[in-house]
Amino acid sequence: MRRRDFVTLSAGLIAAPALLTGRRAQANTTSANEPVDIELALAVDVSRSVDAEEQELQFRGYAAAFRDQRLIDGISRGAIGAIAVSFFTWSDWNVQELLVPWMRIDGAATAEAFAGAIDAAPRRTHLYTSISAAIDFAATLFGQGFEGTRQVVDISGDGVNNSGRPLAEARAAALDRGIVLNGLAVLDRTPPPSQFAALNPPLDEYYRDQVIGGPGAFLMVAEGFDAFENAVRRKIIREIALNPPPGPLVERAFA
């Protein structure tokens, strides 16, 4: 090999890592997550204990919350003035469906777009209730396009964990990552037969003691599905508050 060719080749080999580094730096800059005040994953129970009418009340409740001016005003008061929200349904250990991927909400127009996406989402019902799998699935969603000062999972449901791995394991794994778990327990106006009711603690106590966790975590209790819209609106307004003041561990909403 002639010396001139060797020098040219050597220069190219030396330059290649620098070029690759530059490309990586550019890629990292391009893919950097956008800062928001909070990343909020909304997890909605669609197990068989939730009938079609009750499922519709849940979907409409979330959509109505994002059309509420009080919620939009709360977003605007954040340090950044924007939040990222996703919406998924859950049931069996292997059934989680991301119906509305992460969306940035910074005002009435984007809030309406999110509400409209919920309105248009399919309604499907499955069998069992795996809160643990819902938590595990939600944990995989964070950090995808957005970086919030807080990462919160908002779990709504009307039953206890009866599918998937132990709830305590999933809860502990999420808390170790700094994820906050809030709950929205929906109390059924029609109580189960006494022989079944005795098998589990009251749902509000179950969510309080075994589901929620993390700094500032709290439980909203909807006294029946008719109270769901009021409950979810109050809950999300509290979740997105800038430096939320200490509030009750458990709040109750009525129709």
Give the pLDDT confidence score for residue 51 in this predicted structure: 86
Distance between CA atoms of 3 and 22, rounded to whole angstroms?
A: 29
- In this prediction, residue 13 carries a pLDDT of 40
Q: Do residues 158 and 46 make contact, with C-beta atoms less than 8 angstroms apart?
A: no
pLDDT at 193: 55
Residues 6+ apart with CB under 8 A from 120: none
Report residue 73 as tokens.
């005003």
- Using 70 as the pLDDT threshold, list the residues of the chain that sit under it: 1-31, 189-199, 242-245
How far apart (Å, rounded) are the C-alpha atoms in residues 33 and 51?
38
Show the CA angle centred on residue 122, arms to residues 106 and 156, nearest 5°: 65
What span, in angstroms and rounded, lies between the C-alpha atoms of 43 and 74? 21
CA separation for the pair 113, 85 (Å, rounded): 12
If you search the block for the tokens 């919406």, which residue do you land on? 87
User: How big is the CA angle at 68 (ends 64 and 70), to the nearest 5 degrees?
Assistant: 150
Helix axes of 228-240 and 52-65: crossing angle, nearest 10 degrees? 40
- Residue 57 is predicted with a pLDDT of 87
Contact 167, 201 (CB under 8 A): no
Residue 79 amino acid letter: A
> What is the structure's pLDDT at 12?
43
pLDDT at 10: 44
Q: In this predicted structure, what is the pLDDT of residue 90?
A: 97
Strands 83-90 and 96-105: antiparallel
